[in-house]
Structure 1
Amino acid sequence: MKKVLLLTDFSKNATNAISYAMQFFASKTCTFYIMYVHKVGGYVSDDLLMSPKNSIHDSITEKPKTKLKALIEALKTDNKTKDYQFEYVIDYDVFTDAINQAVTKYAIDFVVMGSNGASNVKEVIFGSNTINVIKKVNCKTLVIPNNFSFLPVNEFLVSLNADDVIDTDLLENIIDFIEGFKLKLHVLRITSESEQPNLALKDKERLALLDSKYHLIEHVPVDYAVSSYLQTNTIDITAFIKKDKSFLNRLFNDSPSKELTSRMKLPLLVLHCH
């Protein structure tokens, strides 16, 4: 059974990500935990002061609980033929702290969220909550672009920069994903002139038992290489390796906005490797 944490702020983007998850995991037996995290500061002090002490918690959770229950009933109705169970989770804590607690408590396999939240600023590709989840939540995270409609997932692209090594941990993550969802693996290795010349040879040794398409690209910026590959190959979902700070530097600092926008036309799976 897969345990999936679906994050929602009740926005259109969050609802779309949940809809994607319903179809992406359709072949699996799943328990979905639909989670809403609210800052206590979002409630004015007068509201809390007017409530008896023993009902402060109820005052904070009443509205989101009603919305979550309605959402779950709708999902049950729409997914009657699937082997799904639903639970709701409400927390009022630091956003990523609440998620990390849920990931541990419920032994979550995947976190699913939209690339942007309720604010939905067009110029912002990743909302602040999404960035914080990628940075601070140590769990496979599936980020769904705004307004992305589900398409059958067959082709999976993993791009590797110089500091991404296909070690046992990463290889197990890749194998688990492609075998679990019956995907064709594409591996794109981007290197520069100063990097280890036998990197590709080591990659191929680790990938020898997998049915994969391997491509080595030299002396090309990573985001340009990925964007070009996506234009010339049919890819349904991309993956990036979150390891130390290199991933974040590439994704949020070094990436030209044009290439990043192109990349985020597809769902993004963030793999956390130690």
Structure 2
Amino acid sequence: MKTILIPTDFSANAHKAMEYAVYLFEKQACTFYLLNAQETNLTGLNAGRTGSLNEKMMEDLFKEINMENTNPKHFYEREIIYDSLVNAIGKTVLSKNVDYIFMGTKGSTAAKEIFMGSNALKVIKNMDFCPVVAVPKAYDYDLPDEILFPTDFKNTYEEFGLKPLKEIARLWGAKIRILYIAEEESLNETQIKNSKKLERILKNLNHTREEIVKYDNTFKVITRYSENKSIGMVAMINNKHSFLEKLFREPVIRNTVFKIKVPFLVMPDIT
């Protein structure tokens, strides 16, 4: 039984993320936790009105979902926590042993919203113990034929750390496309060791490896590859000195360059 957390503000973006999670895990027994987080800085009548409205919206959503649910393997729970979004998600991940967090994004592309100081960005940066899937609002979701996994082989890989990537690939038989973006003429000793370990971890899965010399901005390369029609998801590890860390740090890149149009799986670094 998988446990999947869906933070919701009752928007179309959050609903899109929930629909995609349900669709992706159609064949898997799952409990979906709907979570609404309420900041506690409201006082008096405002706090009471907001709380009552959200409770009603949560109950309406919960009833609607259960009425429409025709999958005997899927179950739903709901909760409202009066805390910041990041704190509420963190508490729920730990208390419910959550396997995945699925979040909607408000922009026309996942990365555009993630890298502009959104709630998704806050969650990705702070949830270093649970994988997050960011789902673009405009994404006309389909099952992933291929999952793009960009890497530079500079960080080591662990079986458990890549478990989310392997699990999602197995759900519908997706191929993992390893994209090595070369910054040097040849791999050094550490990179060779890491690349061999990655091959061992993925040996029982359908996967390919491509190499491209970094002749352009790294993020443009990833974006361009993600636009291939067969790519249904991009997966990255949020480790130190990674592409993601650079994305978080560089505002020009955050705002203009890296614009993924498919769901974006971010796995925490457990090394």
TM-score by length of 1: 0.83
The correspondence of residues 1-274 of structure 1 with structure 2, limited to 5 A, is 1-41=1-41, 43-47=42-46, 61-116=51-106, 125-126=113-114, 128-137=118-127, 138-161=129-152, 163-193=154-184, 196-197=187-188, 199=191, 202-204=194-196, 206-208=198-200, 209=203, 210-220=205-215, 221-232=217-228, 234-244=230-240, 246-254=242-250, 255=253, 257-261=255-259, 263=260, 265-274=261-270
Instruction: Pick closer, same or farther for the CA change 1:94–1:78 going to 2, 3 Å.
Output: same
Aligned partners of 2:178 and 2:208 also within 8 Å: yes
Matches of 1:14 and 1:178 in 2, distance apart?
A: 23
Secondary structure of the residue aligned to 2:140 is coil
* Greater mean deviation of Cα atoms: 128-137 or 203-212: 203-212
Structure having the higher Rg: 1
Secondary structure of the residue aligned to 2:258 is helix
Tell me how far 1:155 sits from its aligned partner. Answer: 1.2
Matches of 1:17 and 1:125 in 2, distance apart?
A: 14
* Greater mean deviation of Cα atoms: 237-246 or 139-148: 237-246
Matches of 1:21 and 1:253 in 2, distance apart?
A: 29
Q: Structure 1 unaligned runs (5+)?
A: 49-55
Matches of 2:43 and 2:92 in 1, distance apart?
A: 26
* Greater mean deviation of Cα atoms: 3-12 or 213-222: 213-222
Residues 38-69 of structure 1, C-alpha deviation per residue, up to 9 Å, x if partnerless? Answer: 1122x343456xxxxxxx7xx66432121111
Aligned residues: 260
Matches of 1:195 and 1:235 in 2, distance apart?
A: 27
Instruction: Pick closer, same or farther for the CA change 1:61–1:215 going to 2, 3 Å.
Output: same
Q: Structure 2 unaligned runs (5+)?
A: none
Aligned partners of 1:161 and 1:189 also within 8 Å: yes
**Residue type at the aligned position of 1:259:** V
Aligned partners of 2:110 and 2:262 also within 8 Å: no
Aligned partners of 1:111 and 1:140 also within 8 Å: yes
Tell me how far 1:145 sits from its aligned partner. Answer: 0.5
**Residue type at the aligned position of 2:90:** N
Aligned partners of 1:33 and 1:88 also within 8 Å: yes
Secondary structure of the residue aligned to 2:98 is coil
Residues 161-220 of structure 1, C-alpha deviation per residue, up to 9 Å, x if partnerless? Answer: 354333334344433332244321111111212774353574145315232110122234
TM-score by length of 2: 0.84
Aligned partners of 2:144 and 2:233 also within 8 Å: yes
